[in-house]
């Protein structure tokens, strides 16, 4: 029995010494000390020994076990250290190599223009507000004085989620939500994404952006509307800019107007950009329809107000003299770098 144990010990120590990696070392542990290991087998066989032999053999088994365990442990420490050192060696960073260049982008032209527009209106005391893009049919049409059979609803054909919800065709529903929520005076600017089932071409996209403004207070007149928009146009396009109001029709305002500014390119002389007219249309506006005020719980005999809305894409195209709206959405870096 002593000899057998001696053999086991020597065999184990030899294989431990020859091992070069931690996985093999673990296999050796299992082979000798594991549940089905050689040394464990001898311990299990001790019940067949005589009373005198048992303690003697037991002692030797324990000694052999300790020796093997110590050998395993010290080899493990040695191998781990070697592994760490070789990893450190391989992963050394060469600080003299040239660094990867970090490309820092900049704002999209539409964002630049949007920031400018916000800044102008914040300067006039407007609050920036937002509303949901998935909107109730009621807020998008009905509350804006556009009943189910109104032709304006066809012009703004959109994407319906179901009978009740749709992708908003305009940012005007934000005005309704603000009027329901707040008591006048109200002075808000609502920029946001809107959707219509339009084919993509140089001037149309199924997704585009609107910016709407709304002012409700006592004694608000068309003069306030003209004043606010004239200031806005001069701030955006320059001090020399002139503004022209042309009568128009919108269901939610009365009276309504479209606003032209003198052409930024030719200052009104007529050029290719203004198609020879000297004027460029930039937005629609009007005095909030009394029916709309009523539907929002605001007394039209006490309060009045104005609203206006513009397309962010259109303003951006004009500002940078870009001819095709698709360029704004393609996000070609060569195009975006120009702004």
> Which pairs from 297-300 meet CB under 8 Å and 24+ separation?
297/179, 297/180, 298/179, 298/184, 298/216
What does DSSP assign to residue 280?
E
Stretch that binds Zn ion, among 1-9, 50-58, 220-228, 261-269 (CB under 5 A): 261-269
Of 215 and 280, which has the nearer Cβ to Zn ion? Answer: 280
Contact 214, 190 (CB under 8 A): yes
Which CB atom, from 183 or from 277, has the smaller least distance to Zn ion? 277
Choose among 43, 50, 78: nearest CA to 64.
43
Among 152, 266, 327, 336, binds Zn ion (CB under 5 A): 266
CA 27 to chain centroid, in Å, comes to 51
CB of 268 to Zn ion, least distance (A): 7
Q: Which is nearer to Zn ion, 54 or 269 (CB)?
A: 269
Separation between Cα atoms, residue 68 and residue 31, nearest integer Å? 11
Least distance CB 312 / Zn ion (angstroms): 21
Is residue 79 within the footprint of Zn ion (CB under 5 A)? no
Residue 108 CB burial class (10 angstroms; 0-12, 13-18, ≥19): middle
Is 274 an interacting residue with respect to Zn ion (CB under 5 A)?
yes
Distance from CA of residue 79 to its chain's centroid? 48
> Which listed range, 143-151, 260-268, 287-295, 316-324, lies at the site for Zn ion (CB under 5 A)?
260-268
Q: Does 319 bind Zn ion (CB under 5 A)?
A: no
Q: Which lies closer to Zn ion via its Cβ, residue 261 or residue 307?
A: 261
Question: Which own/partner pairs from 3-10 qualify as long-range (CB within 8 Å, at least 24 positions apart)?
Answer: 4/42, 5/42, 5/57, 5/60, 5/61, 5/64, 8/32, 8/38, 8/39, 8/42, 8/64, 9/64, 9/67, 9/68
- Closest residue to Zn ion, judged by C-beta, is 263
**Is residue 263 a contact residue for Zn ion (CB under 5 A)?**
yes
Q: Which residues of 198-212 are buried (b: 16+ CB within 10 A; e: fewer)?
A: eeeeeeebeebbbbb
CB nearer to Zn ion: give 215 or 274: 274
The one among 265, 281, 320, 327 contacting Zn ion by CB under 5 A: 265
* Residues near Zn ion (CB under 5 A), total: 6
Check residue 271 for interaction with Zn ion (CB under 5 A). yes
CB of 281 to Zn ion, least distance (A): 12
Q: Is 73 annotated as a binding residue?
A: no
Q: Which is nearer to Zn ion, 126 or 237 (CB)?
A: 237
What is the per-residue burial (b if ≥16 Cβ within 10 Å, else e) of 152-165?
bbeebebeeeeeee
Q: How far is the CB of 321 from Zn ion (least distance, A)?
A: 11
Q: Does 282 bind Zn ion (CB under 5 A)?
A: no
Binding residues: 254
Contacting residues toward Zn ion, per CB under 5 A = 263, 265-266, 271, 273-274
Binding residues for Mg(2+): 254
């Amino acid at each position: 029995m002593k000899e057998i144990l001696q053999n086991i010990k020597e065999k184990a120590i030899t294989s431990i010494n020859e091992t070069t990696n931690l996985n093999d070392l673990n296999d050796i542990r299992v082979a000798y000390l594991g549940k089905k290991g050689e040394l464990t087998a001898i311990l299990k066989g001790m019940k067949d020994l005589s009373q005198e032999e048992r303690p003697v053999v037991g002692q030797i088994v324990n000694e052999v076990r300790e020796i093997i365990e110590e050998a395993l442990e010290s080899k493990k420490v040695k191998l781990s250290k070697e592994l760490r050192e070789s990893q450190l060696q391989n992963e050394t960073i060469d600080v003299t190599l040239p660094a990867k260049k970090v490309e820092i982008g900049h704002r999209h032209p539409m964002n630049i223009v949007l920031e400018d527009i916000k800044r102008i209106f914040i300067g006039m005391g407007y609050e920036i507000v937002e509303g949901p893009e998935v909107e109730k049919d009621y807020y998008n049409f009905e509350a804006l004085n556009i009943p189910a059979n109104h032709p304006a609803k066809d012009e703004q054909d959109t994407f319906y989620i179901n009978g009740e919800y749709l992708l908003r065709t305009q940012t005007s529903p934000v005005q309704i939500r603000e009027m329901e929520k707040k008591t006048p005076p109200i002075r808000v600017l609502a920029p946001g994404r809107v959707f219509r089932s339009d084919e993509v071409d140089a001037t149309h996209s199924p997704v585009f952006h609107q910016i709407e403004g709304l002012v409700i207070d006592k004694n608000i007149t068309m003069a306030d509307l003209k004043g606010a928009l004239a200031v806005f146009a001069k701030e955006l396009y320059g001090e020399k800019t002139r503004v022209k109001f042309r009568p128009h029709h919108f269901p939610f305002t009365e009276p309504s107007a479209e606003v032209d500014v003198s052409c930024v390119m030719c200052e009104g002389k007529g050029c290719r950009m203004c198609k020879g007219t000297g004027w460029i249309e930039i937005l629609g506006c009007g005095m909030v329809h009394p029916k709309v005020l009523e539907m929002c719980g605001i007394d039209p005999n006490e309060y009045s107000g104005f609203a206006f809305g513009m397309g962010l894409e259109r303003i951006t195209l004009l500002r940078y003299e870009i001819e095709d709206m698709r360029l704004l959405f393609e996000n070609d870096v060569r195009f975006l770098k120009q702004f």
